[in-house]
């Protein structure tokens, strides 16, 4: 099978995503080098990835999406891929957006291309999500001294040199903020591009969204105070 983007590794972290994973990998695998990191799934996610013929890495227990991404990053960096992308396993992202972002980083000098759901009207973002995501972006922008419209989007493309010094220490969902903080601290050039995020699948509950918001606040408190809050 011919791979169109031979110099691009796409990290797909997954945890119990058997419902959507096969379709996601089918869309990605013919065009990209896919590294699927199974984060201790208890369903058929790992066997699906293995059957698809992608590179499969497995955690023996669930460590969190941040830890899964870091495992994938280390694998991609070790294999010397010039470009490394992240893509969610729940079917919310569109491969055509990843292609556009990959083409953009190759023809420009940007270090990082980030997807933003707030630069397009192709899919409407639920009101609850809009409020929480924009609040998170506002807090992140203020604390990190950066200006982005969407700081928690799982669709990203990095140049290898830009990613080499990134070591994700936040195992859970705060890794998204940690990545933005890293981009700002390292002075990396970044561009946002409009992407669609589907909300007819993979949606989180009110409880999960509020838990993530609380986690974001704790993350910045730890950063500001330079101590762990217990």
Residue of higher predicted confidence among 139 and 35: 35
Of 98, 83, 63, the residue nearest 6 (C-alpha): 83
pLDDT tens for each residue of 120-133: 765 567 777 777 77
State the pLDDT at residue 229. 38
Average pLDDT of the chain, as a whole number: 86
Closest CA to 40 of 10, 23, 65, 74: 65
The pLDDT-based confidence of 206 (bands split at 50, 70, 90) is very low
Statement: residue 150 has pLDDT above 70:
yes
Phi-psi label, residue 175: left if phi above 0, alpha if psi -120 to 50, beta otherwise: alpha
pTM score of the predicted model: 0.85
CATH number of 5-202, picked from 3.90.550.10, 1.10.580.10, 3.30.43.10, 3.40.50.1010? 3.90.550.10
Give the whole-number percent of the chain exceeding pLDDT 70. Answer: 84
């Amino acid at each position: 099978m011919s791979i169109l983007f031979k110099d691009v590794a796409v990290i797909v972290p997954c945890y119990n995503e058997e419902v959507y994973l096969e379709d996601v990998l089918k869309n990605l695998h013919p065009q990209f080098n896919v590294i699927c990191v199974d984060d201790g799934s208890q369903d058929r996610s790992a066997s699906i990835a293995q059957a698809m013929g992608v590179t499969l890495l497995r955690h023996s227990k669930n460590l969190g999406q941040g830890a899964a991404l870091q495992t994938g990053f280390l694998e991609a960096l070790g294999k010397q891929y010039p470009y490394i992308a992240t893509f969610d396993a729940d079917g919310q992202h569109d491969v055509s957006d990843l292609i556009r972002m990959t083409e953009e980083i190759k023809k420009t000098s940007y270090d990082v291309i980030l997807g933003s759901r707030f630069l397009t009207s192709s899919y409407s973002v639920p009101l609850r999500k809009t409020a929480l995501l924009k609040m998170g972006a506002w807090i992140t922008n203020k604390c990190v001294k950066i200006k982005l419209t969407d700081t928690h989007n799982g669709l990203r493309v990095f140049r290898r040199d830009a990613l080499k010094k990134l070591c994700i220490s936040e195992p859970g969902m705060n890794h998204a903020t940690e990545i933005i903080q890293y981009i700002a601290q390292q002075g990396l050039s970044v561009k946002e591009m409009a992407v669609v995020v589907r909300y007819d699948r993979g949606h989180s509950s009110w409880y999960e969204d509020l838990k993530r918001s609380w986690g974001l606040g704790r993350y910045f408190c730890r950063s500001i105070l330079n101590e762990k809050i217990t």
